[in-house]
Structure 1
């Protein structure tokens, strides 16, 4: 062994203790077998116990901890008991090869643990790669000079400088500069995205050739990448229902194995005339081959691999249960604005009643400047482009699915749907009704405004359909999704116009948030597993009600992101298709693993009593099936 290897041994032991223990155990087992074959019994009886201790220490510790703290049996303890039983049998019969058999059991169990640990580390490395996307420091412009500060010390309002080629340290709004950013590490977008003044950039993205100055608009811990890391860490900690069931099954199963093993040590000599040595040896092999190690490894490696795969594609699963659920989805409800459409509507027409268009825009912008709705943002943007000035409204209140009200100069101002505004005014602008109907029939949204009890007019707003929306709907149908519906608070004409363009037959329009929940419940009664895709605050109740709630990651509100089970990071709707395929693939792999694990246990049990397999061969079959099942789960790491 070279001096370099010796010097690195402490680091290797710290990084890969299971692998080091397995290697040392293997060397000792080999030396013990050599000395035994050479007739050096005393030396062999010193070396082989050392192999038992080094290779079996971790399993014994975990098994005893589970026994004394949780009052439960697990497979680690069963393996140790089987190995010690083989050693005791060898000493009793003076057939010392049995001691070697027990040592080989310990060795193969240690190798299996090391391989499983390596397999899980691959998954964890893929997920924890997100951590490398975070920067520890940022360059801030304070008091007329540039300073380098810790990202954790950044405050809202700070101005951060990002030079060409650097990692963006935290989310922010561009206030100076122009550049193309590589957002692939965060959103999965393959092409760089151009960013200029007013655009939001995300922590963990890589700046291109231009220098940028950003303004921090939210705390660093609220950045997109930090939310992703927290959610992925939570997903790793939470076991899905199927895994919880397997864990409960394992504990009951282990008790049954112990009881049956004890019976096998006692009954055969009386019923079939077996010798006690043969009976005990067969019972020990039974303890090994009947242990559910492969069954325990059938689910979590697969689901964690699927979560890691999804994260690389810009699909964030909050836990393994949702990866399972998305594969079972048979009906999907889509919100319209911001989900099937871009959520960036623009004002295309203004029609005033008796007052001027300027007053109409002043009142509408005064209220909508305090709203988070994308339609309100479009009105405010248009008013700014027209250089309209407005007074700040007071007592502003949003009415979900209806509109917004407030007071301007002590008078009531209303902006929203026709029915909502009409109910608050003394007279109605009937002359504009025909024009409003025409706009709605062509897929535009019409917003009405009133002030001091009089109608001011209407604003026609158009939202563009996402380029990938129609193909996504078509692919979902090809996947066998039984029902696809669109939910919107918009009017029926606008909703149906967009639905026709996308190929969606079922439309529910003019819905309040609670109505969207009712539709999802109705779908669940018919299809059981239903997904809801949305982005706004008013989608949150339906996202929570759905079997699987899916939020648009970039455009989605904080409430929608927290409520949803799955987040599409780049607002790329077509990744919903990838998520469903990944969910179905994970289901297939889990089922294959379970069938393989159970089948191998049955074959080994039959071989134990029919073919009289040896203890090492039983261990090889048992641990080999566990490793194969674990590696099978890692197939989901590939796209």
Structure 2
């Protein structure tokens, strides 16, 4: 298809040709010395015949050009109206079609041409705007890689990306797109993940790190073992989700659609009644044009597509219009502690010796030996610290018994070792150590999780582990408040002292500690009973009941989880806390735009109808104002394509460096 053919099939061919014919009609009229008659009465035909012979020819040619303009612009409009009628729908196109045909019948070619021309411009604007607001989706599709370099039979071969097999080694060189989802098996490099997570700063990748299709190497050389190809990549899932989301209707849009179904026939009946009562055909036709709810119909879809597109470009996936609209009403946010407010990787921070005959290394050795067979998350930092100190346990305990909510009991080398809280010692009849108890309370008050270690009924020491508060956690809470969230609530299974330490450090409004999964669900339900629209941020495992109950479930760091992308109402692709307030702020901006657009559309129709009955508003003027309102609605929605003032945040790499540098921010997991 050449460029000319492509233009003729584009959105603007019809209005441009129609506009040219209208200008030609005016030009012929002025060149012929006549003035184009815009009298709307049927006698215009007779009056025109009274002119001189030369003048009649001029008027006839001008009328033909004007009629041609109406036909060119109105053909598709009439066609769409007929198609809608075959499906038993009375569309906006039908209102314009009847008005234009009526204007031709009464001899007012100018009004017929003006109405159809302006309406075709409106259609072109709508189509162009929807294409532009869907640009985020087009950008995602554009970043999909076409080829991949793989190692086959000991040689590098370039093949189509979809032909890569799972488990194959893909080579990613500087400047190349990553063609598959995979895990780095060898090499180091810097990857720009903006297309996936929205983060602008490249991320350093080494062995065992995950990479995603569509991201770009900014330096280095990576060998990647393919784990996801084609439709099974994170990029493909994102494209699928954005495509579905932009087509999904919000509740307000569904209402507008139902409203239009009744409104359009009502306008036709009003025009018919007005025409019969006043015997004024022009009034009836003008009412048809004025009553077009075009701006109203487009007001919601254009805002939804723009809002979801803007979010996707920033690494935020919103499931659809309904969820976008609901997110705009969020007044309470419930967050899990571990992995959301904290880094989610607890570390051993303290080893206190109670038995003077032992050293810190002895206490750590005993604690690690007991934890060697434990599944508890707090076992890992103890075992890692023991490995670093060269005292890793050899083998596993002969017997290990977790005591829910208290700790563990293990038999190691025919010795019973207890590691847990004072309640565990009391249960097993171990004599309490005042020093151990006081130290444990001190550690807990500092936001750490203390564990008392006892061997054969004797307390030998206390170990404490802590998770690190994210340096941007407090900023996130503040931004949520700025975005209109009135209550930020922490829901955690950790102890009250630890939770309060984190809550006070981050500015959390309400703290709920020592919760089981069903307790988190109850907390979310309580917020809803208080009248809040609740968003829950969690990991989707122990938070699953609360996530399902909340009005909006939010998954963080979803880039590596296909399940999170498909199931979360909002999926934050990166691990950037600032994306949470950004998503809520964008949703609230979108709902404001939707409401503004509805007001603009309805106010325009009301004012035009009043102008018709008051006199002075013609069909062409009414259509001009009507299409002007469509343009205003579109421009208002297009504002959503810009970032708000909090559209960027501290990159992950900088946040991690800052986090490690702030030892004072250590708290418990």
Same fold (TM over 0.5): yes
Aligned-partner SS, 2:530: helix
Compared with structure 1, are the counterparts of its residues 571 and 402 closer, same or farther at alpha carbon in structure 2 (3 Å cutoff)? farther
Q: Does structure 2 retain, via aligned residues, the 8 Å contact 1:351–1:459?
A: yes
1:616-627 correspondence to structure 2 within 5 Å: 616-627=620-631
Q: Distance in 1 between matches of 2:602 and 2:402?
A: 57
Q: Does structure 2 retain, via aligned residues, the 8 Å contact 1:52–1:103?
A: yes
Q: Distance in 2 between matches of 1:404 and 1:237?
A: 51
Partner residue, 1:19: 12
Deviations 1:400-442, CA, capped at 9 Å, x for gaps: x97999x999xxx99998699899x977796676655444332
Q: Is 2:640 aligned against 1:636?
A: yes
Deviations 1:597-634, CA, capped at 9 Å, x for gaps: 11111111111121232221111111221122112111
Partner residue, 1:443: 447
1:24-43 correspondence to structure 2 within 5 Å: 24-31=17-24, 39-40=56-57
Partner residue, 2:5: 10
Partner residue, 2:504: 500
Aligned-partner SS, 1:538: coil
- 475, 479, 484: which one pairs with 1:475? 479
Report how far residue 65 of structure 1 moved.
Answer: 2.3
Q: Is 2:591 aligned against 1:587?
A: yes
Aligned-partner SS, 1:585: helix
Deviates more, 1:124-133 or 1:333-342: 124-133
Q: Distance in 1 between matches of 2:14 and 2:251?
A: 33
Partner residue, 1:576: 580
Deviates more, 1:222-231 or 1:35-44: 35-44
Partner residue, 2:79: 61
Partner residue, 2:294: 293
Q: Distance in 2 between matches of 1:429 and 1:481?
A: 49
Partner residue, 1:606: 610
Q: Distance in 2 between matches of 1:397 and 1:619?
A: 79
Q: Which has the larger radius of gyration?
A: 2
Aligned-partner SS, 2:553: strand
Q: Distance in 2 between matches of 1:309 and 1:574?
A: 15
- 517, 530, 538: which one pairs with 1:513? 517
Partner residue, 1:202: 212
Partner residue, 2:106: 89
Q: Does structure 2 retain, via aligned residues, the 8 Å contact 1:181–1:208?
A: yes
Q: Distance in 2 between matches of 1:22 and 1:101?
A: 15
Aligned residue pairs total 606
- 75, 91, 102: which one pairs with 2:92? 75
Q: Distance in 1 between matches of 2:272 and 2:401?
A: 72
Partner residue, 1:326: 327
Aligned-partner SS, 2:576: coil
Partner residue, 2:489: 485
Q: Distance in 2 between matches of 1:397 and 1:326?
A: 45
Partner residue, 2:127: 117
Q: Does structure 1 retain, via aligned residues, the 8 Å contact 2:103–2:112?
A: yes
Aligned-partner SS, 1:210: strand
Report how far residue 233 of structure 1 moved.
Answer: 0.9
Report how far residue 144 of structure 1 moved.
Answer: 2.9
Report how far residue 155 of structure 1 moved.
Answer: 3.9
Deviations 1:88-115, CA, capped at 9 Å, x for gaps: 222xxxxxxx123112211111111111
Q: Is 2:265 aligned against 1:249?
A: no
Q: Distance in 2 between matches of 1:305 and 1:518?
A: 36
Q: Distance in 1 between matches of 2:286 and 2:226?
A: 64
Report how far residue 235 of structure 1 moved.
Answer: 0.9
Compared with structure 1, are the counterparts of its residues 415 and 530 closer, same or farther at alpha carbon in structure 2 (3 Å cutoff)? farther
Q: Distance in 2 between matches of 1:630 and 1:415?
A: 68
Q: So what's the TM-score if we normalise by structure 2?
A: 0.80
Aligned-partner SS, 1:166: coil
Report how far residue 554 of structure 1 moved.
Answer: 4.7
Aligned-partner SS, 2:522: helix
1:308-457 correspondence to structure 2 within 5 Å: 308-348=309-349, 361=368, 364=371, 366=373, 368=375, 388=392, 436-445=440-449
Aligned-partner SS, 1:496: helix
Partner residue, 2:46: none
Q: Which runs of 5+ in 2 are unaligned?
A: 30-35, 37-54, 356-361, 644-669
Partner residue, 1:533: 537
Q: Does structure 1 retain, via aligned residues, the 8 Å contact 2:448–2:465?
A: yes
Deviations 1:275-329, CA, capped at 9 Å, x for gaps: xxxx111111101111111111222212221222222333322222333222322
- 141, 144, 153: which one pairs with 2:154? 144
Q: Distance in 2 between matches of 1:422 and 1:157?
A: 50
Deviates more, 1:428-437 or 1:25-34: 428-437
Deviations 1:37-74, CA, capped at 9 Å, x for gaps: 564466667655554443223333332222222x2211
Aligned-partner SS, 2:468: coil
Aligned-partner SS, 1:550: strand
Compared with structure 1, are the counterparts of its residues 352 and 542 closer, same or farther at alpha carbon in structure 2 (3 Å cutoff)? farther
Report how far residue 82 of structure 1 moved.
Answer: 1.0
Q: Distance in 2 between matches of 1:224 and 1:363?
A: 40
Q: Does structure 1 retain, via aligned residues, the 8 Å contact 2:188–2:205?
A: yes
Q: Which runs of 5+ in 1 are unaligned?
A: 1-5, 91-97, 270-278
Q: Distance in 2 between matches of 1:465 and 1:623?
A: 53
- 548, 555, 559: which one pairs with 1:551? 555
Report how far residue 11 of structure 1 moved.
Answer: 2.1
Partner residue, 1:161: 171
Q: Distance in 1 between matches of 2:373 and 2:154?
A: 35
- 203, 215, 229: which one pairs with 2:225? 215
Compared with structure 1, are the counterparts of its residues 46 and 496 closer, same or farther at alpha carbon in structure 2 (3 Å cutoff)? same
Compared with structure 1, are the counterparts of its residues 121 and 519 closer, same or farther at alpha carbon in structure 2 (3 Å cutoff)? same
